[in-house]
Chain A
Amino acid sequence: MIKNNIKVVLSKLGLDVHSRGVFIVAKILRDAGMEVIYLGNSMPQQIIKAAIQEDADIIGVSSLGGGHIALGADLIDEAKKENIKDSKGFVIGGAISPEEIIELQNLGFDKIFTSGASNEEIISSFKKIYESKSK
């Protein structure tokens, strides 16, 4: 049985202006029984700090503006610095090109979403990541 109260911290990465996607994902996860904390627009350091304070299981960031590679790398670096890279899940979603998907995977993101992902895909990914991290 999967624990249902997975705790997720979501945010807009950097200054990106588009929030429709992250709001929809927040609702999908909440409706699936997860606890969702939305930080709004935040820089990597703030996100990691909040994730530690909240003891979140998964950190999700949204970026449709093009800053995801530089800030995504910073997020993972910061997580490594704080020693939470392996214990927590890292998810990113947004307008991301196929090449960048590979780049973000190599950086260490557990899952990369682009537009058109189904609810089922989103929920099961989050659960799977949670399971793999709590082993």
Chain B
Amino acid sequence: MVENKKNVKEILEEIKEKKVKKPLYNPEAIEELQKNFDNWKDNTVKEADKQNWEITPQTVLGSEIPRELTYSPLNLKDSEYTREIGFPGEEPFTRGLHPNMYRGKKFTIRQINGFGGPEDTNERFKFMLKNGATGLSVIFDIPTVQMYDSDDPIAKGQVGTSGVAIDSANDMDLLFKDIPLEDVTISIVTHYPSNTAILFPMFLAMAEKRGISWDKLRGTVQNDITLEEVVRSGPEYIPPRDCFRIQCDNIEFIKKEVPNWNFINLNGYNLHDFGTSGVTEMAVAISNGIETLDELISRGYDVDFIAPRLAFFWSISNDFFEEVSRIRAARRLWYKIMKYRFKAKNPRSLWMRCHVQTSGITLTRQEPYNNIIRASYQALSAILGGVQSLHVDSYDEAYAVPTEEAALLSLRTQQIIQNETAVTEVVDPLGGSYYVESLTNEIEGRILSEIDEIENIGGYVKSIEKGWIHRKIANYFNKEHAKIEKGDIKVVGQNCFTTDNKTPPIDVFKYPKGVEDRQKEKIKKLKESRNNTKVEKALKALQDACEKKENIVPYSVECARLGCTEGEIFKVFKKSFGLWRPPVIF
């Protein structure tokens, strides 16, 4: 049962009231400083700068938070070091999850890969590992993401594009051929709860066939309702309530059966890149986290059993200091929610662990090499924010999926930051900056207010059903587009500092040929060789579980073992749950 019906904001405000104030700066010093500051502003600062003391940066995917000309202890006069900043590895985790951060464990270099058939992506995996990648991440092709088989007429011409085609557990086997599953952590970017409940069972069936016990497997699935019901465009959607239930079924099953696997990656990334502020990105993902934990607690689990394996995925965009501060703010806010709303006891439950990716929407087609610079700054801000793992986008992604050369350059970007710049030697190097601490406070407050807004609607799933989030996105990206169009948001090489020669001198990736036919052939052979009576029975058992509100994942694993295809399993979901039409707003 959920004891606490109070909104998060209310709970955190009560806590704040109760605490004794131990200000970071002594009040006398602040008083003197205020005098000096007033004096300086009156006499030294130019009139024009006084008039424009506060400006609001105009950046792609920014949160429109006004900034002062400069920051001083006056901006932090209500701050308490221990309560608001603290030391790394200790509450409130503003400065990082670990006392020694990157000196202890470097951030994981995890570049996403996926194109063509499983055989093709397997080659790219090996290439990345050979060149020093420390984790793998796989993205699926459009039909796989949308849960149709490669031989479905709707998949025509799209098999193996934007990711790798996977139709059955046999393809999973080809995808991870010669990859030591016990040694490499693997992020399986399944996006939706529904396809997580199909593709992860295929991965498990493959591991089982290789004789690897599931507790040896380490990695992450994404499993996020936001991706399935909000961010995605697709022909068929199951209703949000059922989608949320599958998200929680996945978590419940994975936590019990694959204990070292991260069962959800609360995904702000795609929402942010679709079009929201960085504040909304985090408010939405955290709200989903809160509602998910409530649901699992109501299924009888202790918060400390579930919470340590929750992970987040953020998109890092252009406003350098906002991005650093945002990660610090989310880390502190998540800690407070876990401690005071959920009363978690396990220290790991208090951790906002995150993977981040540089922002795809900031990449331009014009002068594509500029994207290398953009992604490098974004990567640096993420590292200064203290993230756990990182993907750097490639410069050619406004054209197609990255070439091998471009993918290598993304890897090298991370390696250069990690090995040449020394930024990883000191924990939270921007901590204590008047500016960064003030911005961290401001952003935390704004995220909390948006969480409050979502709670007042009736929670996150309700906010999807009511179209609140869809409207919010449309408003944001239309406004942003208008600003880019007007030149208020500057995009170098696109709306300012443009050149006549827009044709890029770059190689663009070409998809391997023949993937669609190869996938179709494999499905045909599979359907001839598997035990179709058993397949029918397993699909029927899955349907019963869907309708009986039993956890569906064990049934889906059985389907995967018997060689069911993804499309066959998705059909069961559609039959059981019916279809939903998300609002279309533009």
Q: Which residues of A pack against B, CB within 8 Å?
A: 12, 14-20, 22-24, 26-27, 30, 38, 40-43, 65-67, 69-71, 74, 95-99, 114-116, 118-119
Contacts and interface: CB of A to CB of B under 8 A. Distances in A.
Contacts of B235: 15, 40-42
A23 B584 CA distance: 9
Chain B interface helix/strand/loop/mixed = loop
A23 B142 contact: no
B478 A16 contact: no
A67 B161 contact: yes
18 contacts: A14-B157, A14-B158, A15-B158, A19-B233, A24-B478, A26-B586, A27-B478, A40-B584, A66-B400, A67-B142, A67-B156, A67-B157, A74-B156, A95-B399, A98-B504, A115-B398, A116-B366, A119-B485
Contacts of A97: 399-400, 508
Contacts of A38: 584, 586
Given A17-B233, A116-B365, A116-B494, A95 B158 contact: no
B161 A24 contact: no
Interface size class of B (residues with CB under 8 A): 35 or more
A66 B142 CA distance: 9
Given A70-B158, A98-B503, A118-B485, A18 B586 contact: no
B349 interface: no
B508 A41 contact: no
The 10 A-B pairs at the shortest CB distance, nearest first, are namely A70-B157, A66-B161, A19-B233, A67-B158, A23-B586, A97-B508, A41-B235, A67-B157, A65-B142, A26-B586
Nearest to B227: A17
B274 A65 contact: no
A23 B142 CA distance: 20
A12 B584 CA distance: 13
B18 to A, nearest CB: 44
Query: Which has the most chain B C-beta neighbours within 10 Å: A22, A38, A42, A43?
Result: A43
B216 interface: no
A41 B366 contact: no
A17 B157 contact: no
B320 interface: no
A42 to B, nearest CB: 8
B477 A23 contact: yes
Interface string B492-511: 00100000000110001001
Given A65-B161, A97-B508, A15 B148 contact: yes
Contacts of B478: 24, 27
Contact of B162 (A41, A65, A71): A65
Query: Which has the most chain A C-beta neighbours within 10 Å: B145, B157, B161, B162?
Result: B157
Contact of B158 (A18, A26, A71, A98): A71
Contacts of A95: 398-400
Contacts of B143: 15
A116 B586 contact: no
A85 B204 CA distance: 49
A56 B145 CA distance: 31
A75 B512 CA distance: 23
Nearest to B361: A20
Nearest to B485: A119
B368 to A, nearest CB: 11
Interface in B387-407: 398-401
A17 B146 contact: yes
Given A24-B586, A40-B235, A14 B485 contact: no
A115 B157 contact: no
Contacts of A67: 142, 156-158, 161
B154 A15 contact: yes
Contacts of A115: 364-365, 398
Contacts of B161: 65-67
B530 interface: no
A15 B508 contact: no
Nearest to B231: A17
Query: Which has the most chain A C-beta neighbours within 10 Å: B143, B146, B504, B586?
Result: B586
B429 interface: no
A68 B158 CA distance: 8
Interface in B176-235: 231-235
B146 A71 contact: no
Contacts of B494: 116
Given A14-B157, A15-B148, A95-B399, A24 B366 contact: no
Given A26-B586, A71-B157, A114-B365, A16 B233 contact: yes
Contacts of A118: 485
A36 B182 CA distance: 53
A121 to B, nearest CB: 11
Contacts of B153: 43
A115 to B, nearest CB: 5
B275 interface: yes
A20 to B, nearest CB: 6
A38 to B, nearest CB: 6
Contacts of B155: 14-15
B508 A99 contact: yes
A70 B156 contact: yes
